[in-house]
A and B are shown apart, each in its own frame.
Chain A
């Protein structure tokens, strides 16, 4: 038992350092794929550790450095189900998002968001038909599609040399079905603060992370060149999201 636990730790440590068995690199010959990584995130309460949801994600890093994140969320606690495809540039600025939401047995809608320079073009589709919208966005912003897998990408423009609290701009999608036009987002601002490097242990292993605080309550711990979410916590809401599994390489 101890031997197995030690093996888990060694493997997790290797994954944390971005070490992938040579076998995987040899198999994956596709020049459009630099890396495949897949993982899962467990949603639970902090105090009682009650499980609320499971998110399964799959990331592709492409040769131009851009990334495609796919995510499927089964939130059995809140009775919603989310699908997401989220594409970002090499520096994590959003390129495109597709989401679809279900809540409490009903279809909420889907949204397609494409970024063209300083303009975000949205088309959302739901029970009430198709709505289009265009929003001016700053150079530094991110999208909140609500699966957690990309919630570690909001800090991509934080300047560590400057440090301290820095402004952040979020285009936050509306997940609840009774808040005006469902799915369509709105721009919000907040502050983010780099709180240092921390070693964090989650079910997937031990990871060296960057710890950011967002606003007064939320903390996010992210790791590696892909800013992988390791842990996200909101003590005020008694909610946390922890990396449950992760593996890199080929998926035959």
Chain B
């Protein structure tokens, strides 16, 4: 009886929240600053069982100058981690500014602001390890790897479009270990990828036209226009990241 009542309550709660969501959406009304927006949720699971490992949500705005801001936050319960990231890129996906705050298994690791000005990257991290500043030269083509998966398709922005050809880029990858004495600052590394072609895939969020890549041994499927992650599979680590809900809206037609 109690189980029935609880189930009924959860069902009612779901109906209620779904109704509320449909009533408001994520955004309402065209805004001259926003060309289009998208939001969604990913499930993190193991590939083999599949076992639940966590989830991630994102909200992306594309602005009138073509630049994008990705707000993303995850709950990686399998690693006792919780990351919050705001990542801004130019119209061609080159990084402009990134904020992140990391909670790891040993507690708060710190937060970092990263800014890119031409060929110079500066980063300032604050946390249990104190304040640490970093500056380095960065190449014309590079990306910032913050670990949530929503913007991982943005590492591939230099893709030449050729199928089956090994390509390389650079990634400024953030330190995200459980060691809270190491500040969340990055190192510049090579990133290898290969475009495998266009594919239509179906995930819990729906059916998407995607581009399939091999990204340093991971299989990723991303949308073409905004390079949003639809699915990522890392077989060697038994990992699966899949889009489970998705909403988007374009204001471009009304302009």
Residues of A within 8 A of B (CB): 4, 7-8, 10-11, 21-23, 27-33, 36, 40, 42, 51, 53-54, 56, 58, 60, 62-64, 66, 68, 70, 72, 74-77, 79-81, 83, 85, 87, 96, 98, 100, 102-107, 110, 112, 114, 123, 125, 130, 203-204, 244-245, 247, 250-252
Contacts and interface: CB of A to CB of B under 8 A. Distances in A.
Given A54-B27, A98-B86, A251-B55, A104 B111 contact: no
Interface string B88-116: 10000000010101011101100101010
A79 B71 contact: no
Contacts of A80: 31, 33
A70 B26 CA distance: 14
B41 A85 contact: no
Nearest to A81: B33
Of A51, A56, A79, A130, which is in contact with the most chain B CB atoms at under 10 Å from its CB? A56
Contacts of B33: 79-81, 102-106
Interface of chain A, main secondary structure: strand
B126 A68 contact: no
B138 to A, nearest CB: 16
A123 B99 CA distance: 13
B150 interface: no
Nearest to A103: B33
A72 B71 contact: yes
Contacts, number: 169
Contacts of B27: 54, 56, 74
Given A51-B28, A125-B97, A252-B55, 9 more contacts: A21-B6, A33-B77, A54-B25, A64-B107, A74-B31, A83-B86, A85-B101, A96-B101, A203-B20
